[in-house]
Amino acid sequence: MGRKKSPVSEGILKGEFFMSGDIACAEGALSAGCRFFAGYPITPATEIAERMAERMPQLGGVYIQMEDEIASMNAVLGASWGGLRAMTATSGPGFSLMMENLGLGIMTETPCVLVNVQRGGPSTGLPTLVGQGDMMQARWGTHGVYEIIALSPSSPQEFFDLTVRAFNLAEKYRIPVLVMADEVVGHMTERVVIPEEVPYFPRRKPNFPPGDYSSFQPGEDLIPPMANAGEGYHIHVTGLTHDERGYPVTDEITQERLVRRLVEKIRGYKKDIIILEEKGVEGAEVVVCSYGISARVGLWAVELARREGIKAGMLRLLTVWPFPQERIREVASKVKAFVVPEINYGQIALEVERSTGGRAEVIPISHMGGGLYEPEDILKAIRKAAR
């Protein structure tokens, strides 16, 4: 689709497009009902902000460019409590700045979406080139004890789809959801089909009137309903450890009750949250386990290996966090080895290794960033593992 002008004068796009990943992400958010975007320009996520700046006014939504990524993350949290579906998008350095208030979002159970179009790091690193080095930061980047949801797209189409899914998971589980893309997926232009309608999980509203409402009283499913500001409930929301009324109670017992629930409300629903794509895993001797852009190249290597007669399979993580350790363990007992290509020095590879419980060998393939593997790099590891 043309960058300068687009057939989008009104409403949500529908149909087939030749669209970059970043644009698809923005359109996915809009399709999912996102009407608030706060951000700060940063390569390679800037195109998402630019698209939102163009599109939000057309849809009656809000685009605001904040003074930094700390402010962006906070504005997104505020907007969510103001009643809008809200998101921000950034890359490495900005992701680091957002960690502080990602924690506030987790603690206050604020639905929102944070997109990281990963580039090479550490520090300013490779602003224009690909990396996947923030996967562990996604899991553990903010301080304290918590569980997180992170999705990872391998194509512009999936960037669209997973952004929609991120908004729905955010509302369903009342948590900030991370979309961990990368520079190649963000900048590549490819076919994107936008459906007539996308799935929509509405905000969990309290089903009782103001007055007898405890803002953080969970239902049996461990997830509390959410009254927005301005609805008369006089909610209190704090980043301190709090009781079911939302009031600060900074003691061991309250901490245990609150934080255990924040973790369990995600862990208990892993079956609903985790999506994996498996190709030829049953009967395989070697399984390539990967995510994002690395998984795409990994799949090519798997196909080349199968042509050579090697029993190779592909296990692609569309959900990276929470980690699908149960499935990895299951597969581990049937295969010789996992090959894990990723554009870092072994992050998810460690998680795969942990999950196998020693039942299968794990071969990480590392790349410091700035480019992609060629299929041959991965194929060599598959051949070696199959021997």
CA dihedral angle for residue 348, residue 162, residue 298, residue 270, rounded to 10 degrees: 50
If you count them, how many residues does the chain have?
387
Q: Where do we find the tokens 């709090």?
A: 242
Instruction: In angstroms, give the least distance from the CB of 113 to another protein.
Output: 14
Look up residue 218 and give its two tokens: 């969970």
| Closest C-alpha among 248, 198, 211, 193 to residue 30 | 198
Instruction: In angstroms, give the least distance from the CB of 350 to another protein.
Output: 26
Q: Select 44 or 141, whichever has its Cβ closest to another protein.
A: 44
Instruction: In angstroms, give the least distance from the CB of 43 to another protein.
Output: 7
Q: Give CA–CA dist 285/126, Å, rounded.
A: 36
Q: Select 97 or 135, whichever has its Cβ closest to another protein.
A: 97
DSSP letter assigned to residue 14? -
Instruction: In angstroms, give the least distance from the CB of 374 to another protein.
Output: 6
Q: Select 1 or 275, whichever has its Cβ closest to another protein.
A: 1
Phi and psi, residue 97, nearest 5° = -65, -25
Name the helix (H) or strand (E) containing 178: strand 176-182
What does the angle CA 70 – CA 264 – CA 357 come to, to the nearest 5 degrees? 100
Q: Select 300 or 361, whichever has its Cβ closest to another protein.
A: 300
Q: Select 28 or 44, whichever has its Cβ closest to another protein.
A: 44
Look up residue 168 and give its two tokens: 């729905």
Q: Select 25 or 84, whichever has its Cβ closest to another protein.
A: 84
Instruction: In angstroms, give the least distance from the CB of 62 to another protein.
Output: 5
Q: Where do we find the tokens 């990895």?
A: 328
Instruction: In angstroms, give the least distance from the CB of 21 to another protein.
Output: 10
